[in-house]
Each structure stands twice: as C-alpha cells, then as structure tokens.
Amino acid sequence: MTPNLHLWLIPVLALIGAAINGLFGKRFSRQTVVAVALLFSGAAFAFALWVASQFSSLTTPHIETLATWIRAGEFRADFAFYLDQLSLVMLLVVTGVGFLIHIYSVGYMWEEGGFYRFFAYLNLFMFFMLTLVLASNYLLMFIGWEGVGLASYLLIGFWFTKDSAAAAGKKAFIVNRIGDFGFLIALFLMIQHFGSLDFAQVARGASPALPGGEALLTTIGLLLMVGAAGKSAQIPLYVWLPDAMEGPTPVSALIHAATMVTAGVYMVSRSHVIFEHAPGAMMVVAIIGTLTALFAATIGMCQTDIKKVLAYSTVSQLGYMFIACGVGAFSAGIFHLMTHAFFKGLLFLAAGSVIHAVGGEQDMRKMGGLRTKIPWTFWTMTAGTFAIAGFPPLAGFFSKDAILFKAFTSTYGSWIYWAIGVFTAFLTSFYMFRQWFSTFFGEYRGDDRADFHGHGEHGHGGIHESPAVMLVPLVILALLSVCGGWIGSERFDKFLAPAFHASEFTPVVQHGAMGMGPDTVVPATPVLPTGRRDVEVSETLLTGISVAAALLGFLLAGQLYYRRRDLPGKIARALGGFYETVLHKYYVDKIYAAVFVKPLIEGSTKLLWHGIDRDVIDASIDNSADGAREVSDAVRHMQSGNIRSYAGWVAAGAALVILYMVWVGTR
Amino acid sequence: MHLILFLAFGAVCVAGAVNLLVQKHPINSALSLVVVMGSLAAEYLLLGAEFVAAVQVIVYAGAVMVLFVFVIMLLNAGEEEETKGSRVAMIFGIPGMLVGSLLIAWVLIEHSGNKSLAAGALPGPPKTIGWLLFHDYLLPFEVTSVLVLIAIMGAVVLAAAPASAGGRKD
Amino acid sequence: MLPQTADYMRLLPEIVLTVFGMIVMVMDAAAEGRGEGRSRGRSIGRIKDRRIEKILGAVALVGSLAAITATFVQAQYPGFAFWNMVQVDSFSVFFHFLVAAVTAVVILTSFEYMEVQQIRAGEYYALILFGAAGMSLMSSAVELVLVFIALEISSISTYVLAGFRRRAAISSESSVKYFLLGSFATAFFLYGVALMFGATGSTNIATIGDVLRSGQIPLLAYAGVALMFVGLGFKVAAAPFHIWTPDVYEGAPSPVVGFMSTAPKAAVFAVLLRIMFEAHAPGRIGLIWVVAALSMTIGNLGALVQDNIKRLLAYSSIAHAGYLLVAYAALPDNGIPAAMFYTASYAAMNVGAFAVVSHFGSAGERYVTLGDYSGLGRRSPLLAATLTIFLLSLIGIPITGGFFAKFYVFSAALQANLVGLVIVGVLNSAVGAYYYLRIIVVMYMREPQQEVPVARIPVGLGFALAISLVTTIYLGVLPGRVLEYASRTATAWMR
C-alpha cells in the first residue's frame, strides 16, 4: 500500500497563485503580488522536496488517480498523476529553478508595468509545466504541452506594445502548432492501436508484435519527434526560439532555456518504449539532434545580441539532448537537461543582470570591461560559461561528456555523432567565451549617455550591480552549475534506470538488440552502458578530446576577442559570403517566408479574394456606401451579378456531387 | 396514347418554364406560369391523381395566379432592365445545371427499376388523401400552418418601410 | 384515433416555443394598436416603445427557458409520436436542449442590440422562437416530409432575421440573397426526397434505412442522397455550397449571425446524422471526405485575408462545418458522439464570440473591422479576455471545448482509417490558428487607431457571455459527462 502523496496539489498550488494574482492583482500592491507569487511557487517547490524525501518508500511508478475524466466507449483517460524517477527529476528542476527565477523576477521586473500580470502568467506557466511533467497519460500531458505554449505566448508578447514582441509571440505559437500537429496525430494513432493513452498501457502495447509492427511504431515515433522538434526548437522548427528572446529575460531563462523547451526531450524520454522498438525513428532523432547542435552553434558564433547568443546556444544544447535520446542514452539526455537547466538558467539570469546594469543594452559590441563594475554578475556568469563550455569539474562537463561517450559507444551510436558533437563542443566553448570576453574584458565600448537616460526595458542611470534579490538566485544557480554534475552520470543513470529499463509493465524489453539476453533483466542495472558496441576505446581518451576541444575554444576566443580585437573583422571579411550567410542565420527565416508563408497568403488572396470574394465586396461597398438608397435599388443592383454567380457556383457544386454519387453508384 | 399525351404536356410545361425566365415583362412571365401550372395539372390527371390535379387548377392556376397578376398590375411594374450577366453562371452554373439534370434524367430512365407504377396505384381518391393528411401526416399538415405564419410575418417585416425613412413612399 | 397525451408531451418544446412565439406576436400587435402609428418613423414615442419591447424580450426569454424545461419533460417520454412522424430519443433531446439553450443566449444578447440599433423587436423575438421550434422539430423528425417543413420554418425565419438591420442596405441585401439561394438549395433537398421515395417507396428514415440495408442499392438512391446532401450542405455552409456565407453573415445583425451559425446548423447536422447513419445513405464516406476537406481548406484560407470580423468568422464557420463533417465519414459508434460533441461546443463558443461582436459593433455595427479591435485589451479587458477564450476555443487549445471537439472528431476519423482526411484536418487547424490569433494580437498588442467607444456590458449580455464561457470551459475541462451521454446515444441508436 503506497501512501497517497496528493501530487495534484503541486500544480494546483501554482494555479491558485496564478488565479489570485490574475484576478485581484490589479488592486494589490507590488509587495502583495510578490508575496503571493513567491508563496505559491515556493510551496510547490517545498512540496516537491517533500515528495522527493518520501520517494524511496514508494513503489515506482507511483500513480495517483484523482478522478475519472473522460470515458467514452472503450477509451478512457483520467486525471491521474504519475511519479517515477524521471518525473521526479523533472519535478525538482521545474519547481526549483522556477522558484529561483520567480525570486529573480521580483528584482528584474520591479519597475515594469503589468507587474501582477507578469507573475500571474509565470505561475500559470508553472501550473501547465507541472501538469505536463506529472501527467500519467498523453492526453493530460498534451493539455500541459499546449498550456505551456500558451503561457509562453503570453509571456513573449508581454511587452505587447513592441511590434517585434507581438510578432515573435505569434511566430512561436504558429510554429508550435505545426509541431503539435505531429504530436496529435501520434496520439490518435496510439488510441487507434493501443486503445489508450496511458503511459503504462501504451508501454505495454508497444511491441513489434503489433499489427503494423515496427512500421507503426516508427511512424508514431517520428510524429512524436515532430511535436518535440516544435516545442524543443529543433531543425526544422527551431526558428521561433531566437525570436522568443523578445520576452523579458527571466522568461527566457525559465521557459526558453530551463523548462518548457526541454519538454520535448522529456516527452521523447517518456516514450522511450516506442522509440526503442523503432530504430529508424531513433536514428532520425539522433540525426536531427546532431544537425541542430552544429547548425545552431555556428549561428551562435556570429550573433552580437547577448540574449540571441544564448538562445542559439540553447537550441544547440537541446540538440545534444536529442543526440542522447537518439542513441538510446535517455538518462544521459535527462542528466544534461538538468545541468543545462542550471547553467543556462544562470547564464540568462546573469545576462539579464548585465542588461540591467548597462541600462537595457543587449548588443555585446557596446559592452566590455564590466568585470570590475559588476563583480557578482561576472563571477556567477563565469561559472556558467565554464560549465557550458564543458570544463571539468563543472556540471556541463559531466553531462556533455556522458552524451558524447554514449554517442560513440552505444549500439545506436556512431563516431559521426561523436565527431560532430566534439566539434560543436569546440564551437560552444568559442562562442561562449567570445561573449564572456566581449562583455567583461577590455574597454567599455558603450554609449556613455546611455548611462544617464537608459532605454529599452530599464531606465536606471549608471552601470550598477543588481540588487540582492537578483543576485541570490544567481549565486545559488552558480553553485549548482559548479557542483550539479558531481552526482556523476553513472549514479544518475542508475537512479533513473527503473524508469527507463525495468518499467514493471514491460518486464521484457528487447534487450537482445542491445547485447543482453532477454532474461537478464535486473531493475537496478543500467542496460545501455553494457549494451555498448565492440569498440575498444578508452573513456579517458574521449574525455580528453572533448576537454581539449573546450580549451581550444577558450584560447581561440581569448585570442580573437581579448588580445587581438582587430582580427575578427578581418576574418569575417576573408570569409566573405559564408560569413554573411551565417550572420543572416543561413537565411532560413527568409526561405520559410518565401516557401511557406508567402504562397499561402498570396494564394488565398489571389484565389479567394480576387477570384471570388472581391467582386462581392466591391458590390457590397457600393451599396453600403450609400445607405440611404432605396432597398429595392440595392437589391436590383445586387441581383445583376452576385446572385447569379452564387447560384452558378451552387449549381456547379451540385452537378459535381451528383456526378460523383452516380459514378460511385454505377461502379 | 397515354404516353404521348404525357410527353406533350411535359414539353409544354418545360417550354412554359423557360419562357417564364426569358420574358422581360412581369405579366408575360406570370402568364407563362399559368401555362406551367395548367400543364402540371394535366400531368397529375394522367397519372391518376385526380384530386391533386383539381387542387392544382383551383389553387395555383386559379387563386394564386390571379393574386400574382393583380399585384403586378397594382404595382404597375414595368419592363425589367437588362442587367449584366454573370460569367460564373455562364461558365459553371448553366453547364452544371445541364449536366446535373441530364444525369438525373439518365438515372431515372435507366435505373428507376422495372416496378412500373400503374395508374391509380398511389393514393388518388380524396378519401384516401384526407385520411393520410389528417391522420398519418397530421403533424406535417399542422406544422405547415406555422410555416405559413412566419412567411406572412417575414413579408410584413421586409415590406414595411425602414423606420428611419420617415414617410417615404415606395 | 386521436393523438394521445404522450404524443403532445413528445412535442412539448416545439409547442412551448410556438405558443410563446404567438404570445410575443400578439402582444406586439396589441401594443402597436395602443401606441398607434408608431411604426411610421416617429421618434417621440420611442422611449415608451423601448419598454414594451423589453417586455417582449423578457417574454421571449421566458419562452426559451420554458422550452429548456420542456426538454426535460419530453425526455421522460421516449418513443414515437404522431404516427411515426417524430421520434424522441436521447439524440433528439440533446439537440432540443442545445437549440433551446442557444435561443435563450441569443435572446439575452439581443436585448441590448435591439436597443442600440433601434430595431423594432416584436417580430424579431417571435421569429426567433418560431425558428427555434422548427429547428427542434428537425432534430426529432424521422419523416423526410416533416423534416422538409421544419427545415423551411427554420430557414424562412432566418432569412427574415438576416434582414432585420433595416437601415443598412447590406442587411436587406443579405436577406434577399440568402432567401433566393436558400430556396434554390431547398429545392434540391425536396427533389432528393422525391428520388429517395422513388428508390425506396418510403419517406420514413427508418424504413429507408431498412430498405437500403436489405438489398442492392438502386442508383436512384445515390442520386437522392446527392441531392439531399446538396440541400443540407448549403444550410450548414459546407463547401462548395458555402458561397453565400460571408455576405450573409456580414449583412445580418450580429446576434442573428450567432443564432444562425449555430442553432439551425446544429439541427441540420442532426438531420444529416439521421440521414447518413440511420437511413444508411450509400456513398457516404467518399462524398463527405471531399466536402469536408474542401470546406476546411476553403474556410481557413478564405479567413486568412479577411479584415472584417464578421466575414472572418463566416469563413471560420465554413471551416468548422468541415471539421464537423469529418465525423460523418467516421464509423457510427465514434462518429455520432464526436459530431454531437462538436456541435455543442461549437455552439457555445460561436454564440459567445458573436455576442462580443454584437456588443462591440455599437450603433449601426460600425466597428467590425480588425482595426477597430486594436487595443481592446486595454479599453475593455473583460470583453477582450472573454473573446480571447472563445477564439482560443475556436483554434482548439486545450481546456476549451474546441480542443476536445476537434480531438474526438479526428480521433474518430482515424479509427475509421481516414488518415488522409485527418492530416488535412490537423494541418488546417494549424493554419486556422493564424487568423484567430490575429484578432488576439490586434486586441492586446496594437495601439488603438481611433477612439472606439466601448459601452458597459449590460446584464443580459453579461449573462449570455457567462453562459457561453462557462459552457466552453466546462466542455474543455470536464468533457466526460457530455461525451458519455453522446456515446450512449450512439450505442442505443446503433443497436
């Protein structure tokens, strides 16, 4: 008998916070708004910690059914929450990092209008994200999935007076809809073939023995990946994330770095049973991950906006997580997800602190020499930069190393993934240190007057350190970025193993394919490390190479952006067209606009507007322009063209329907 | 003989209908409608539906048409203006109608089965019709009164001058 | 043999609606008699008239509420009435309730509208009630002749209602257009019924079903289905018979558009369900496939370029007719409940959206372009938030009814292996997100271009919005009960 933990309380706490601030926040003072927001997000975190403390006494997966939700014929879905090692990790990351970012936002957003609205949205986001993470079936997960998208849309467009913010919000929403289209169809296929959307039942149902077998599972897997690519900003749907930086910086940290964008990784990991039976889908995941990692890193090298660099870096790091999923190293992916939440959250918050300090400037070319002026920010950001670059013994080192190792050695892996991964690690290190050097070293290159009147989001005067309420979260995250990896990937893998390999519902996973006999299922044994290919390669060597790549990146960036500041310009000129292409993000946005958006809009304009609709409109305008004219007149005028045309269309349509039906009937 | 008469009246009916559309003066159109109604009544008679035929002549050809002509006279409606045609109707509509009608005609001729109905097989005498109308089909019959009621209301609403137009005469 | 009490009970909502319709009509006439000649362009007596019209509205509201109550009474008498003309089952009760509820909400919305637009309300309310009676009757009629008469009642009342903005030429125009084209389409339906009678020897839906199930299906039946479908397809604004929709919606008064885009459509969809499934219409799947795909695509693409909110919502309703039709291509045991659920949630969100549009349009429906909505989020946060939720539901975002509606429809279609259609549908709903979002973006993220006044929300409208909002969210959060009801209906039906 497992105890009832009342898991539903965790998301509901956040929802209550959102509701109170959303409904009454307008009348509250700022202090009250803050109190409410922090109280409820903090309570959710505390509750999550308590759940974690109880965790060892639970039999996993621990499922709590709150109520029957939908029962229609054979199909049923419940309000049920699902707790296992995987969701516990996600739960702690979301509530923990979320709470810290709430605290930070108090300082960051203090001066802004719509203060209460901001916190209401933020709590609302937490509610949906926790629903997503704790859901025990795909339908509830999808509710959370769409919900975080909605909250993200609201938060990106928070400064809705800015046109670019509004456009960015809309873009994020639409691109995500395309991803959701894949996810939804995957859900329909699951209902059709497994008769359920429960994780447990889907896992039980997903076996190659099914009618359709591997092909079906591959299809479902690929469709899920379409959904994941939308939410987690992978090729070809990554385009929305960089634009999403129009939102306030804490939002970028919480939603577009630490939590929401990792939902795709979580979803793929959650569906690991499907993927494990569909090697084709796995390969696609790995390839998409690899390409995205590389592609985004190259773009990141040329960006000059401090937040855009981080945005492309996020896309690239998410690519790493998908590499891990694609080679079957789900736990390594989740490990990187966790450490990434720490250091990328930190980097965004620190970047926010920098922006705050220089009065809203985001262009790195106008910064420099800030090291001494904002020491706290500098040191925490340094921790984050070294962590993401993969310097031992910081968090990023362990998780990235685990992924690269698995990419090389796993049965699904290949040296190509590894090689590109290492090269990307070098690029990552380079562009991160480029940012680090440009921001904190050298001379201050900013516009002096900006110090006095400021512009954009912050109107403080003078370069100044952020208040303590912003620095405390920075410090905590910095500590986590330093130490978060010390759990070690092996131990982490072991902890997550029950969720990935010995799910009680699939006692026999096809381990044969991974080099183990089907009988040797021991829950606590991590399967994949033993499932490596016969490659004689020392882990130390691989680790050494990736550390060397990081170091190389550091040195190169130091050379170019600290010692010889004239060099980058020369190199850019030397590269000419290629540099231009990368600078313009490979023109992907333009290509999408030309290939998809424009034809759609123009097609419908030409075909429907000019072809059919406009005659009508013109006629209507003619009439309504002169409202006093006699009605009979208007009718006569209108009769001349429209009604006949309309009747013509109806008659033609009717003829087609009759033709079709008679044709069907005579067959 | 039966068949020849039936076809002849059918042809007259169609010709009347086409004439109705082509004529420009409302009175001519109305008179064409009388032809249509009359030949339809003859068709009913040939099919053995004496009662329906009689009702057709009395109600439509008689009452309704008189009313039509009366209203047209009263309004003193002149000749219709020539209005510009519609390309859509010419390109899609008319061919569409032709194709649809021909198809259905073909289906009716070729595939209506061979249970040919003898004259009088369907309810013809007033007593049977009365029974059907006031028993089996009582509800549709009664509900039709609502239909007529709202049709009248609709006419009243649409015909009344707009309030803002003051005492403007139509 | 005379009709029994049970016969009347099975017809109670229709009787209630008709009686109240007549009361309103007679009261209006009586009031007019006393206030003598007020119809002829007089403005002095107007204030007094307003009071009378409010009373008329209240009576109509009571009538619609009484009809809702009558629905529950009716539900106690399942079975056939009036010699197999009408069948009361949980299916028809569902639609009776839906139509009556939509009527009540529309009447609530109309109070303010009538006053602002200075429309004489007497016949207006009466026509709404009569129309509702016709729509209710459609959903329980199992005899094609009766279906036809009920369809005409519903159609003629909507034709007239569309022309109620007497001061705008565009409204009369839309009324006449709708009337002429609608009659054209009804002729198709009637001809279809005749051919069906020729093919099966009956106009009773159940008998037709038996005949068609039992033997080889004559070609005539295919032609009959085709023609009936043309008629009904016109009424629900399915492509390629959608062409009238934007014009008519643009011209008609907004509350009426809210009414005619939901209640009559729901009734026609009910008829279509009976014809497609109970009468076992042949050639169903291919026909529906094409029409549904076409409606979704044309509706969504057409809406992309609209600047007038009413036209935009007109195209959106074409698209939604397409989504709904997808359910008709599915298997009966999933398709029927999915279609019923979709009808209900579409009714809730669309009536709500038009309630907002009609309030915001103000006198003469001046403010109906997208530009007028800019900055609405700041000027009237409550109104904007409400409209946003309706729009999100129209997109199909979770925790709104629109999500589950689409979800069930597509899921049902996929279980019938209509993969292609589902892909078309889901892609279309992604495209659709764009133009709904455009409204939201404009409301919240654009500076107002001109001073557009927003009146306070009156009580009646407040209630109307609250009802639609609660229903939309209820169907989105706890769809279980409604869906279960719909599924039980389907199983009972298919037995």
Domain B1-80: assigned CATH number = 1.20.120.1200
Q: pLDDT category, A267, cuts 50, 70, 90? A: very high
Q: What residues have CB less than 8 Å from C79, skipping those under 6 apart? A: C6, C10, C87, C88
pLDDT for the residue numbered A451: 44
- Of A472, A437, A451, A244, the C-alpha closest to A353 is A472
**Tokens 């429309």 sit at which residue?**
C119
Which residues of chain B neighbour A641 with C-beta distances below 8 Å?
Answer: 83-84, 86
Pairing of strands A62-72, C79-81: unpaired
pTM of the model: 0.84
pLDDT for the residue numbered C19: 95
Q: Is residue C156 within 8 angstroms of chain B, CB to CB?
A: yes
Interface contact flag, B92 A647, Cβ < 8 Å? no
> Once rounded to an integer, what is the mean pLDDT over residues A424-430?
91
Q: Is residue C86 within 8 angstroms of chain B, CB to CB?
A: yes
Closest approach of B167 to chain A, Cα-based (Å): 13
pLDDT tens digits, residue range C70-114?
999 999 999 898 888 999 999 999 999 999 999 999 999 998 888
Interface contact flag, B85 A644, Cβ < 8 Å? yes
Q: pLDDT category, A633, cuts 50, 70, 90? A: very low
How many other β-carbons are positioned within 10 Å of the β-carbon of residue C282?
19
pLDDT tens digits, residue range C386-434?
999 999 999 988 888 998 899 889 988 888 888 889 889 988 888 888 8
> Once rounded to an integer, what is the mean pLDDT over residues B136-151?
92
Q: Which of A 574-633 lie inside 8 A of C, CB atoms? A: 600-601, 603-605, 607-609, 612-613, 616, 620, 623-624, 626-627, 629, 631
The neighbours of chain B, by the rule of 3 or more Cβ pairs under 8 Å, are A, C
What residue of A is the nearest CA neighbor of C437? A170
Q: pLDDT category, A649, cuts 50, 70, 90? A: confident
User: Are A109 and A115 contacting, i.e. CB atoms less than 8 angstroms apart?
Assistant: yes
What residue of A is the nearest CA neighbor of C232? A654
Distance of alpha carbon A479 from the chain centroid? 24
> Once rounded to an integer, what is the mean pLDDT over residues A422-443?
88
CA-CA-CA-CA torsion sign (A98, A104, A110, A113): negative
pLDDT tens digits, residue range A58-98?
777 788 888 888 776 677 788 888 888 888 999 999 999 99
Interface contact flag, C483 A70, Cβ < 8 Å? yes
Question: In whole angstroms, what is the distance from residue C246 CA to residue C263 CA?
Answer: 18
Considering only A473-477, A561-565, A634-638, C199-203, which range has the smallest mean pLDDT? A634-638
Q: Does A609 score more than 70 pLDDT?
A: no
The chain A residues in contact with chain B (CB within 8 A) are: 630-632, 636, 639-642, 644-645, 647-656, 658-659, 662
pLDDT for the residue numbered A593: 74
Q: pLDDT category, B140, cuts 50, 70, 90? A: very high
Q: Best mutation site among B92, B98, B101 for testing chain A: the one with the most A CBs within 10 Å? A: B92
Question: In whole angstroms, what is the distance from residue A383 CA to residue B101 CA?
Answer: 81
Question: In whole angstroms, what is the distance from residue C152 CA to residue B144 CA?
Answer: 9
Phi then psi for A71, rounded to 5 degrees?
-135, 110
Question: In whole angstroms, what is the distance from residue A292 CA to residue A305 CA?
Answer: 20
Three-class DSSP labels, A54-107: HHHHCCCCEEEEEEEEEEECCEEEEEEEEECHHHHHHHHHHHHHHHHHHHHHHH
Which residues of chain B neighbour C1 with C-beta distances below 8 Å?
Answer: 135
Which residues of chain B neighbour C220 with C-beta distances below 8 Å?
Answer: 107-108, 111-113
Candidate from B110, B153, B160 with C-beta closest to C39: B160
Q: Does B52 score more than 90 pLDDT?
A: no
**Which DSSP string corresponds to C432-483?**
HHHHHHHHHHHHHHS--SS----PPPPHHHHHHHHHHHHHHHHHHH-THHHH
Interface contact flag, A653 C240, Cβ < 8 Å? yes
Q: Which of C 211-250 lie inside 8 A of B, CB atoms? A: 218-220, 222-223, 227
Interface contact flag, C226 A646, Cβ < 8 Å? no
B-C Cβ pairs (cutoff 8 Å, strict): 106
Question: In whole angstroms, what is the distance from residue C278 CA to residue C332 CA?
Answer: 9
Is ipTM strictly over 0.85? yes
Question: In whole angstroms, what is the distance from residue B153 CA to residue A22 CA?
Answer: 49
Q: Is residue B73 within 8 angstroms of chain C, CB to CB?
A: no
Pairing of strands C86-88, A75-83: unpaired
Tokens at A140, concatenated? 């509830």
Cis peptide before C3, with omega less than 30 degrees from 0? no
Q: Does A628 score more than 80 pLDDT?
A: no
**Residue A389, CB half-sphere, CA atoms under 13 Å: how many?**
28
> Where do the H-state alpha helices sit in A484-587?
489-500, 527-530, 539-558, 567-575, 577-583
Q: Is residue A164 within 8 angstroms of chain C, CB to CB?
A: no
Pairing of strands C79-81, C86-88: antiparallel
Q: Is residue A559 within 8 angstroms of chain C, CB to CB?
A: no
More confident residue, A341 or B122: A341
Residue C42 β-bridge partners: none
> Once rounded to an integer, what is the mean pLDDT over residues C447-454?
73
Candidate from C81, C120, C159 with C-beta closest to B154: C159
Tokens at A318, concatenated? 């998410």
Candidate from C173, C225, C305 with C-beta closest to A634: C173
CA-CA-CA-CA torsion sign (C61, C66, C72, C78): negative
Tokens at C364, concatenated? 């003469």
| Local structure of residue C218 (DSSP, 8 states) | P
Closest approach of B21 to chain A, Cα-based (Å): 13
Considering only A630-639, C116-125, C325-334, which range has the smallest mean pLDDT? A630-639
Interface contact flag, A644 B162, Cβ < 8 Å? no
Question: In whole angstroms, what is the distance from residue A558 CA to residue A467 CA?
Answer: 30
**Tokens 């989740």 sit at which residue?**
A334
> Once rounded to an integer, what is the mean pLDDT over residues B59-83?
79
Q: What residues have CB less than 8 Å from B116, skipping those under 6 apart? A: none
Q: pLDDT category, A467, cuts 50, 70, 90? A: confident
Residue A76 β-bridge partners: A71
Q: pLDDT category, B61, cuts 50, 70, 90? A: confident
Interface contact flag, A652 B92, Cβ < 8 Å? yes
pLDDT tens digits, residue range A342-373?
999 999 999 988 888 887 778 888 887 788 88
Interface contact flag, A661 C226, Cβ < 8 Å? yes
Q: Is residue B156 within 8 angstroms of chain C, CB to CB?
A: yes
Phi then psi for A83, rounded to 5 degrees?
-120, 120
Q: Is residue A76 within 8 angstroms of chain C, CB to CB?
A: no
Q: Is residue C32 within 8 angstroms of chain B, CB to CB?
A: no
User: Are A265 and A322 contacting, i.e. CB atoms less than 8 angstroms apart?
Assistant: yes
Q: What residues have CB less than 8 Å from A254, skipping those under 6 apart? A: A97, A98, A101, A122, A125, A260, A345
Cis peptide before A250, with omega less than 30 degrees from 0? no
Q: Does C143 score more than 50 pLDDT?
A: yes
pLDDT tens digits, residue range C471-493?
999 998 888 889 889 988 888 88
What residue of B is the nearest CA neighbor of C17? B146
How many other β-carbons are positioned within 10 Å of the β-carbon of residue C318?
29
pLDDT for the residue numbered C257: 94
CA-CA-CA-CA torsion sign (A225, A230, A233, A234): positive
pLDDT tens digits, residue range C226-285?
999 999 999 999 988 988 898 899 889 999 999 999 999 999 999 999 998 888 888 888
Taking all residues of chain B, what is their mean pLDDT, rounded to a whole number?
A: 80
User: Are A87 and A134 contacting, i.e. CB atoms less than 8 angstroms apart?
Assistant: yes
Taking all residues of chain A, what is their mean pLDDT, rounded to a whole number?
A: 79
Question: In whole angstroms, what is the distance from residue A649 CA to residue A655 CA?
Answer: 10
